[in-house]
């Protein structure tokens, strides 16, 4: 096996050794009187007549087959199976406009996975290794009039794929032309590169704009050249207009770097809360005439580290973010421009201010949107799990081998070259979950030479014994801390980032398809966790793992990937975790929701402004009561607290308040009750009567007749005028924790797959009852007994009351119970299938919920059970809300646990049913199983078995071994 791996490495190394051999590189002066060579990425003209997109239908040749394929796109997601080491050829024709004659034609690929050899009319024009970074080549000398043939020979699973774990991570081969392809034209003497950077004075008021341009003469003639920079604001006002000749003539084949610094008085700053962008026009002048014009958006923004904190424009920032993969169930790692924009907007509206681009660089389109709407971006290189147990290659390869260094450097520098001018990019991530080594130190040095205006990160572990080898990156990192993690960051000399934290439940897959209510439990612990992050100085912030479900629906019907680990699913529907994340990341927090204070006819709300840059005067604050509405103003500064005064009077029973972000969305909202909730009152029923025979007791409670089996002690049925309401129960039930992946074995864990099926849960098997005592009084009929189960024993007390309620008290000794760690326990009812509507009211952890959230504090849900052949319907885009997705147990909404219930009710179309009454300490769960509706009222319920999210998420877990469990359930039938 070792010999095989060595052969693979040698072949991959030889294949990639000619990487960028045909790609033009340009040299830049950097710090320390050095030059650094960077692969050229020319500014693409904005003028539509100067570029042609080569997206759409191409031909795909594999062996003797030649079929159509869509570009950009993964080949696997289009039904093509390409083996490791196999080369496939993409091809298409194109024509060049006549107006492009006597100019330089450039061909740019935004991303090809993972090795590309590019030919034009049979001539090699470029060769490139690396999946998610752009590269370009000059194709001018290989063009002809009429049709030209473009061919791209592609291999996947090459060295860059292995160093990035690209295909391993996606659980399928990620191969193909993944991102857009562009032809564009430049004058023969052209601007080959422009680097923009900004900095502020000591007061963060005035700025220095630094512009570094690389000019190249690709003609055969000498020429005198000059540049003009024009900076305008959004309204078109000219801020800067400077033209200047270069000091020397540019000879044929020569290049020159022009570096200029300009003073800009009091520019509007770019930040995530006010993402102001200026327009920079760069013109190339030859003999005084404009021969090239480029336009780009720039932002005035400065990033610094002071002590163990991160500052932007002189303000300390807290990063509230997620990790984001580029993913769609049907197109894989290729997604449309529309989805890139939508992703940015969805996370922005969830109060995120930061995106970590796990685990490869983002597209140009995503960064443009991040610049526009205001998102910080940690731009990560496509390097993952180097010397990490998740990647099997490192059992045989030496992670310190210098052969890997060129690929590690190029993965970083090519990414930086592509996105260096985006103000949203504030951190360069060298790589993910890898072991620090001398190679990484050399990578870091190169990164700092190329750009010293942004801090670096490296995703290892900055404390403890695992994967902690002394990273020298500017920002320390820790993945998956517990609740004590934020406090530990204050002991660190560097700012500490939780690059991955609060892992959304995904590996307890069977538990999740059984009870989606586990997802509702995510939000409250996240609020507690982020509060701790916010208050600890050394904690820069964190990125939730992960942002979007990572599932791939292959054309053959197979579903693979890591699974549903995002607050947003692959179809971009919002899941329960989305709303929990939005609440935890709220930039305006009302601190005294549980301590309502009224003073001089005003409700006094203690409010904390967690924005980094703006005061609350920039936030629209509106209130509405049952008898008034209006707006209030506040001038509480960033990271400060104060009071809001909401006018109320004696008739005011409720206050609803909203905080609208400057971007136009509601950042937070609260509903505050000022009157006590009325207690539900029930009129006495007409009669209460008990009968018995040798086998059963019969209790008539108004129109309801209960049958209690004397052998088992169970209510064996309950009817109203002959219509069955209860089939059985309530019976004591323990549902075990279940952390089954239910997936297909993979080196880094179990991958998601089709055959992940729901769990079935049953009550304890009742053997017999003894010492039954039945008593009647004016107010109630009470029946008590001792019960024996197959592996436990206990007591039951039935109280049938004249007001129509039934109370069942239980106690169970668990001495012989095989389940020691329960997910839930309580009393389980069984009802006929037609009782398929659930209504509930509960005490929510939050005061306001989305009507589309299964976690909402009151609502109605329909069973709508649906048999599906696999964990999801393969290849089919859902047409409904996430809450309405269903399997054989019922819809997500119906079958999910509802915690802290006031009541939960199941009824049929005739309005018959059961209503459970509670005191906000119990949970309900309903599902279809074996033809009947199961209805659990749990006295204990926790947050599930996800192994990656520790305290505070796991704080509710208990052991019931050798315990006596007690509880009760109160219900009424109709």
Q: Percentage of the chain with pLDDT > 70?
A: 95
Secondary structure element (H or E) that encloses residue 170, with its range: helix 166-170
Q: Which two tokens stand for residue 823?
A: 């997910």
Distance CA 25, CA 674 (A): 69
φ, ψ (nearest 5 deg) of residue 184: -145, 165
pLDDT at 18: 44
The dihedral built from the CA positions of residue 431, 434, 438 and 439, taken in this order, carries a sign that is negative
CB atoms within 10 A of CB 464: 10
Strands (E), 814-877: 822-832, 837-842, 858-862
Distances (CA, A) of 394 to 79, 173, 225, 444, 532: 31, 20, 52, 22, 37
Helix, strand, coil percent values for the chain (each to nearest 5)? 15, 40, 45
Low-confidence ranges of the chain (pLDDT < 50): 1-11, 14, 16-21
pLDDT at 4: 35
Please, is 676 exposed, middle or buried when counting C-beta atoms within 10 Å of its C-beta (0-12, 13-18, 19+)?
Answer: exposed
| Contact residues for 763 (Cβ-Cβ < 8 A; gap 6+) | 729, 731, 732, 733, 828
8-state DSSP, 870: S
Distance CA 696, CA 715 (A): 9
φ, ψ (nearest 5 deg) of residue 370: -65, -40
8-state DSSP, 855: T
Distance CA 869, CA 755 (A): 8
Contact 712, 633 (CB under 8 A): no
Q: Which two tokens stand for residue 57?
A: 């239908």
pLDDT at 32: 62
Distance CA 379, CA 296 (A): 20
Q: Which of 397, 381, 498 is nearest to 444 (CA)?
A: 381
Domain covering 2-186 in this structure, CATH number = 2.60.120.260
Three-state secondary structure string covering 296-335 = EEECECCEEEECCEEEECCEECCEEEEECCCCECCCECCC
pLDDT at 747: 52
pLDDT at 815: 84
Q: Look up the CATH superfamily of 318-479.
A: Glycosidases (3.20.20.80)
75-112 pLDDT, tens digit each: 999 999 999 999 999 999 999 999 999 999 999 999 99
Q: Which fold has domain 189-298?
A: Immunoglobulin-like (2.60.40)
Decide the pairing of beta strands 278-286 and 744-746.
unpaired
Distance CA 156, CA 136 (A): 19
pLDDT at 1: 37
Q: Which two tokens stand for residue 808?
A: 């069942």
pLDDT at 24: 80
Contact 727, 718 (CB under 8 A): no
648-679 pLDDT, tens digit each: 999 999 999 999 999 999 999 999 999 876 66
Distance CA 424, CA 368 (A): 8
pLDDT at 953: 82
pLDDT at 952: 85
| Number of alpha carbons in the 13 Å side-chain half-sphere of residue 799 | 14
8-state DSSP, 420: T
């Amino acid at each position: 096996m070792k010999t095989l791996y060595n052969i693979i490495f040698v072949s991959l190394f030889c294949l990639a050794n000619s990487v960028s051999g045909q790609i033009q590189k340009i040299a830049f002066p950097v710090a320390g009187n050095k030059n650094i060579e960077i692969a050229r990425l020319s500014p693409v003209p904005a003028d539509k007549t100067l570029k042609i997109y080569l997206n759409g239908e191409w031909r795909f040749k594999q062996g003797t087959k030649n079929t159509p394929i869509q570009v950009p796109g993964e080949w696997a997601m289009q039904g093509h199976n390409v083996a490791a080491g196999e080369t496939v050829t993409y091809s298409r024709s194109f024509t060049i406009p006549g107006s492009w004659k006597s100019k330089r034609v450039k061909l740019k690929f935004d991303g090809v996975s993972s090795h590309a050899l590019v030919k034009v009319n049979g001539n090699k024009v470029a060769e490139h290794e690396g999946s998610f970074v752009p590269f370009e080549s000059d194709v001018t000398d290989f063009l002809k009039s009429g049709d030209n043939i473009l061919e791209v020979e592609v291999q996947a699973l090459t060295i860059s794929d292995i160093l990035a774990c690209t295909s391993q991570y996606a659980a399928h081969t990620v191969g193909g032309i993944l991102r857009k392809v562009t032809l564009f034209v430049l004058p023969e003497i052209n601007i080959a590169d422009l680097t923009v950077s900004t900095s502020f004075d000591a007061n963060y008021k005035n700025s220095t704009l630094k512009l570094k341009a690389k000019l190249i003469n690709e003609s055969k003639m000498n020429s005198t050249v000059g540049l003009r920079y024009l900076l305008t604001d959004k309204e078109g006002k000219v801020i800067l207009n400077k033209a200047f000749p270069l000091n020397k003539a540019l000879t044929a084949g020569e290049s020159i770097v022009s570096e200029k610094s300009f003073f800009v008085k009091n520019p509007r700053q770019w930040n995530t809360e006010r993402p102001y962008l200026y327009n920079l026009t760069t013109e190339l002048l030859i003999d005084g005439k404009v021969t090239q014009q480029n336009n780009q958006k720039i932002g005035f923004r400065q990033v610094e580290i002071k002590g163990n904190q991160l500052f932007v424009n002189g303000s300390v920032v807290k990063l509230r973010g997620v990790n984001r993969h580029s993913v769609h169930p049907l197109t894989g790692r290729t997604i449309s421009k529309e989805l890139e924009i939508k992703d940015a907007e969805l996370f922005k509206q969830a109060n995120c201010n930061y995106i970590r681009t796990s685990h490869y660089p983002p597209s140009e389109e995503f960064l443009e949107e991040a610049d526009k709407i205001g998102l910080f971006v940690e731009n990560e290189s496509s390097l993952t799990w180097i010397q990490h147990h998740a990647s099997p290659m490192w059992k045989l390869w030496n992670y310190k081998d210098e052969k890997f260094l060129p690929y590690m450097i190029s993965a970083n520098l090519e990414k930086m070259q592509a996105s260096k001018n985006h103000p949203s990019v504030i951190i360069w991530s060298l790589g993910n979950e890898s072991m620090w080594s001398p190679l990484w130190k050399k990578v870091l040095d190169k990164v700092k030479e190329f750009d010293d205006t942004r801090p670096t990160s490296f995703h290892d572990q900055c404390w403890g014994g695992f994967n902690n080898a002394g990273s020298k990156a500017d920002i320390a990192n820790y993945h998956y801390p517990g609740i004590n993690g934020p406090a530990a960051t204050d002991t660190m000399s560097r700012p500490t980032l939780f690059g991955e934290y609060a892992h959304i439940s995904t590996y307890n897959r069977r538990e999740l398809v059984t009870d989606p209510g586990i997802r509702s439990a995510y939000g409250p612990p996240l609020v507690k966790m982020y509060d701790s992050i916010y208050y600890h100085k050394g904690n820069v912030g964190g990125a939730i793992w992960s942002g979007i479900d990572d599932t791939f629906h292959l054309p053959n019907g197979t579903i693979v990937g890591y699974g549903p680990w995002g607050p947003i699913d692959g179809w971009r529907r919002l899941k329960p975790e989305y709303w929990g994340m939005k609440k935890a990341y709220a930039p305006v927090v009302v601190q005294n929701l549980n301590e309502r204070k009224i003073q001089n006819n005003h409700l006094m709300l203690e409010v904390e402004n967690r924005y980094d840059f703006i005061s609350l005067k920039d936030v629209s604050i509106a209130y509405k009561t049952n008898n008034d509405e209006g707006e209030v103003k506040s001038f509480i500064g960033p990271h400060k607290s104060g009071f809001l005064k909401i006018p109320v009077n004696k008739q005011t029973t409720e206050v609803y308040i909203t905080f609208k972000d400057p971007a136009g969305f509601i950042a937070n909202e609260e509903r505050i009750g000022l009157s006590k909730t009325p207690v539900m009152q029930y009129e006495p029923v007409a009669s209460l009567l008990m009968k018995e025979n040798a086998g059963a007791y019969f209790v008539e409670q108004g129109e309801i007749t209960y049958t209690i089996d004397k052998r088992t002690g169970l209510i064996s049925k309950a009817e109203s005028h002959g219509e069955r309401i209860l089939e059985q129960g309530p019976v004591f039930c323990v549902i075990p924790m279940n952390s089954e992946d239910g997936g297909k074995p993979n080196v880094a864990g179990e991958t998601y797959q089709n055959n992940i099926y729901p769990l079935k849960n049953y009550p304890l098997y009742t053997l017999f009852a003894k010492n039954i005592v039945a008593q009647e009084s004016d107010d109630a009929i009470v029946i008590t007994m001792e019960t024996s189960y197959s592996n436990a024993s206990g007591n039951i007390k039935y109280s049938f009351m004249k007001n129509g309620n039934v109370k069942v008290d239980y106690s169970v000794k668990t001495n012989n119970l095989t389940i020691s760690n329960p997910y839930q326990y309580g009393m389980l009812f069984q009802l006929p299938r037609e009782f398929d509507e659930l209504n509930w009211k509960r005490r929510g952890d939050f005061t306001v919920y989305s009507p589309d959230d299964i976690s909402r504090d009151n609502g109605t849900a329909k069973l709508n059970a649906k048999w599906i052949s696999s964990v999801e319907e393969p290849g089919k885009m859902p047409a409904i809300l996430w809450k309405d997705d269903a399997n054989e147990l019922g819809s997500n909404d119906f079958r999910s646990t509802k915690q802290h219930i006031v009541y939960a009710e199941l009824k049929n179309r005739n309005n018959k049913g059961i209503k459970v009454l509670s005191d906000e300490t119990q949970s309900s769960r309903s599902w279809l199983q074996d033809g009947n509706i199961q209805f659990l009222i749990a006295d204990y319920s926790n947050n599930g078995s996800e192994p990656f999210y520790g305290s505070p998420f796991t704080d509710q877990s208990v052991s019931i071994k050798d315990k006596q469990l007690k509880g009760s359930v109160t219900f009424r039938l109709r």
